[in-house]
Chain A
Amino acid sequence: MRISDLIKMGLRNLSRRKARTALTVIGVVIGTISIVVMVSIGIGMNTNFTSQVMEQGSLTTVTVERIANIMDDEGNYINSKEQDNKYIVFGSDTLLDFYNPTSRNYTTKSIDLTKDKVTFQFNPYEYVVNERKKPFSLKLTNYGIMEKVDNWEYDYSCYMDIDYFRTLYKKYANTLNAEDRKKALSAIENYERIKITVAMFLEPMQETSNMLQMVLGGIGAIAMLVSAINIANTMIMSIYERTKEIGIMKVLGCVITDIKKLFLFEAGMIGLIGGIIGIGLSYLASFAINKFGQPLFQALLSTNYMYNMENTKFSIIPFWLPFVAAGFAFLVGVLSGYYPANRATKISAIEAMKTDS
């Protein structure tokens, strides 16, 4: 048989039983939608996590220029000053909420960094402070205060050069007991080895999103499995109905591989048609999710991850997904048609022709 004849015959056979073909196709459509949408949500999450972490990465770096320009209030250049690494950058909210320790009613006290000293202290629960030594305090020469941003994460911390921190730390370790001094010094040696990278944040998030993708993909796969069984059932029914035809075809000289191909093609077409329709509907579904799915996702995810909810896409369909999905749907069709097609080839021509249809 020519390929063109095979295709013509297959399509005709499918259109002969429109209702049944349509129902089977709907099964595949649902399967495809569930897979595409689930995968797209998984990809959307992954992208969101990544971009979120990337944003964080850019915010974990504070650029301090070695030569700073000094401006007056109107923004005119007055002088410039070269500075070393001895500076501290304060988060916008770190300087609030100080209060006078001698006052009884905890009145807040505003701080003047030009006059006040910064006192460093070890965590008293971890280290025992040698009472005889004076606590370590420092007069600030170079400092900066960050502007307040929406992201509260950075407003309550201070930032400084890590080498500067180390020198201060080592100096201050003298105020500890001899034992604790060793402990503290070894702690900072170990601290050296900790590297803060974007991947550190990203990895657990990606693990979560991979898990989520697998769970979501699994849901889609189940829907697809059901539709595969559905296709197989349809094809078996169709073979029962067409037993006589198959017999006639065999007697007229149709090679069994052609019969097999015909049924595989029909099953594959059910898969492909369902896949294509499913992909089309998936785009709609994806659009709807991005537009209206915000409350749902907020409820699901806000406890774990900070989402910038306003303009996030929850469902992203990358360009390769429709092709993969269509191919997959076709493959599912062909695979589930394999058993029925094999069955069709085994039908005995005489028996088949004796059956009524």
Chain B
Amino acid sequence: MQNQNNTIIQVKNVKKIYRMGSEKIYAVDDVSFDIQKGEFCCLLGTSGSGKSTLLNLMAGIEKLSGGQIIIKGQKIHKMSENSLARFRQRYLGFVFQSYNLMNSMTALENVEFPLVFKRVRTKKRRALSKDMLKQVGLENRMNHKPKEMSGGQQQRVGIARAFVAKPEIVFADEPTGNLDTKTAMEVLKLIRNIAKENNQTIVMVTHDKRVAQFADKVINILDGKIQSIEKIENVESIENKEKIETTESIEVLETKLS
């Protein structure tokens, strides 16, 4: 706890109990950990391990059964629905496995969407969104609707939407779950690069160990409990390793992106 000031998320003895009839199911069972500012943290576990539930708890989407979650010194579990919504506007971004884009809106409008709730003026939010879409390499696709784009492109729109309001924390729930390996790696690098650029904290959930290797810290979860927390010190080397594994075409794409 030497850098207390740097801790952005504190999870303390968090429990989530579902009732299935008379049976109690401990989806999250007495979990505690801290996440530092600017850290890329990954919750790794098999399906049904409670990792997604934990993420939802941290994002304030689900209610706690016990324990505390403190983000930026604020007790998430005690907030009202409206103040939670405002908190999300200001500090949180989300990337989903199934993208969760608004099908009726174009890519640009989708990216603008969080800014609409933040009461940002039209001109300003349009400019911000365009910048963001350029960053994720979709400057040619701004006026396409989600259905007219590939999975990878949709997820990039999702990422642009998550980062457009410059949130301090971005929650990513299996962001690569619906993508093929190649696209998955691109998307992960994109998330990582944007986050590192702005010193943003990422909390990602995945079941894929290869995906988890992009993180600074991996929390292994099994049956709602933490198995181990491992820090990946030399991220760059792994990234280099990944680079060797991926095909040349991606490298070409990556240079385009950067």
Q: Which of B29-37, B89-97, B209-217, B249-257 is the interface stretch?
A: B89-97
Instruction: Name the contact of A1 in the complex, choosing from B88, B117, B161 (C-beta under 8 A).
Output: B117
Whether B61 lies near A349 (C-beta < 8 A) is yes
Is residue A250 contacting chain B, with contact meaning CB distance below 8 A? yes
Interface residues on A, range: 20 to 34
Contact B102 A255 (CB under 8 A): no
Question: Bound complex: CA of A38 vs CA of B83, how far in Å?
Answer: 49
Give bound CA distance, A256 to B84, whole Å.
Answer: 10
Contacting residue for A253 out of B56, B103, B118, B121, CB 8 A: B118
Residue of B whose beta carbon sits closest to that of A255: B85
Q: Report the separation of the CA atoms of residues A349 and B100 in the bound assembly, to the nearest whole angstrom.
A: 12
The residues of A that contact B101 with a CB separation of less than 8 Å are 248
Chain A residue with the shortest CB-CB distance to B105: A12
State the main secondary structure of chain A at its contact with B: helix
> Which of the four size classes fits the interface of chain B?
20 to 34
Instruction: Please determine whether B119 and A245 come into contact, CB atoms closer than 8 angstroms.
Output: no
Which residue of the partner chain A has the closest CB to B118? A253
Contact indicator per residue, chain B 52-95, by CB within 8 Å of chain A (1) or not (0): 00001001011000000000000000000110011111101010
Which A residues lie within 8 Å of B113 (CB)? 249, 252
- From 193 to 252 in chain A, residues with beta carbon under 8 angstroms from any chain B beta carbon are 244-245, 247-252
Whether A253 and B92, one on each chain, are in contact in the complex, defined by CB atoms closer than 8 angstroms, is yes
The proximity string for A residues 329-357 relative to B, scoring 1 for CB distances below 8 Å and 0 otherwise, is 00000000000000000000110010001
**Which one of B59, B81, B119, B161 contacts A2 once the chains associate, using CB atoms below 8 Å?**
B119
How many whole Å from B157's CB to the nearest CB in chain A?
A: 13
Question: Does the CB pair A255–B86 fall under 8 Å?
Answer: yes
**In the bound complex, CA of A255 to CA of B89 (Å):** 9
Complex CA distance for A12 and B119, rounded to whole angstroms = 18
Is the pair A253, B89 in contact by a Cβ cutoff of 8 Å?
Answer: yes
Q: Cα distance A252–B56 when bound, in Å?
A: 13
Minimum C-beta distance from B175 to chain A (A): 14
B117→A255 contact, CB < 8 A: yes
Complex-state Cα separation, A183 to B257, whole angstroms:
115
Q: B96 contacts which chain A residues (CB < 8 A)?
A: 353
Q: Are A249 and B100 also in contact (CB < 8 A) when A256-B81, A350-B62 are?
A: no
* B100: chain A residues within 8 A (beta carbon): 244, 247-248, 251, 353
The answer to whether A253 and B119 have CB atoms under 8 Å apart is no
- The smallest beta-carbon distance between A1 and chain B, in angstroms, is 6
Q: Tell me whether B247 is interfacial, beta carbon within 8 Å.
A: no
A254 touching B82 in the complex, CB below 8 Å, given contacts A244-B100, A349-B61, A350-B62: no
Residues in B with CB closer than 8 Å to A253 are 85-90, 92, 114, 117-118
When the two chains form their complex, are residues B94 and A252 in contact, meaning their CB atoms are under 8 A apart?
yes
Q: Does B104 contact A (CB under 8 A)?
A: yes
CB-CB under 8 A for A256 and B85, given A12-B104, A16-B104: yes
**B116 touches A (CB below 8 Å):** yes
Cβ of A96 to closest chain B Cβ, rounded Å: 84
Q: Are B82's CB and A256's CB within 8 A?
A: yes
Interface residue A121 (Cβ < 8 Å from any Cβ of B): no
- A357 adjacent to B103 (CB under 8 Å): yes
Proximity string of chain A (134-155) to chain B, C-beta cutoff 8 Å, 1 when within and 0 when not? 0000000000000000000000
Can you list 28 pairs linking A and B with CB atoms under 8 Å apart?
A1-B119, A4-B122, A5-B122, A244-B100, A245-B102, A247-B100, A248-B101, A248-B102, A249-B117, A250-B85, A251-B59, A252-B89, A252-B94, A252-B114, A253-B85, A253-B87, A253-B88, A253-B90, A253-B92, A253-B114, A254-B117, A255-B82, A255-B85, A255-B117, A256-B81, A350-B61, A353-B96, A353-B100
Interface residues of B (CB under 8 A from A): 56, 59, 61-62, 81-82, 85-90, 92, 94, 96, 98, 100-104, 113-114, 116-119, 121-122, 161
Chain A positions near chain B (C-beta within 8 angstroms): 1-2, 4-5, 9, 12, 16, 244-245, 247-258, 349-350, 353, 357
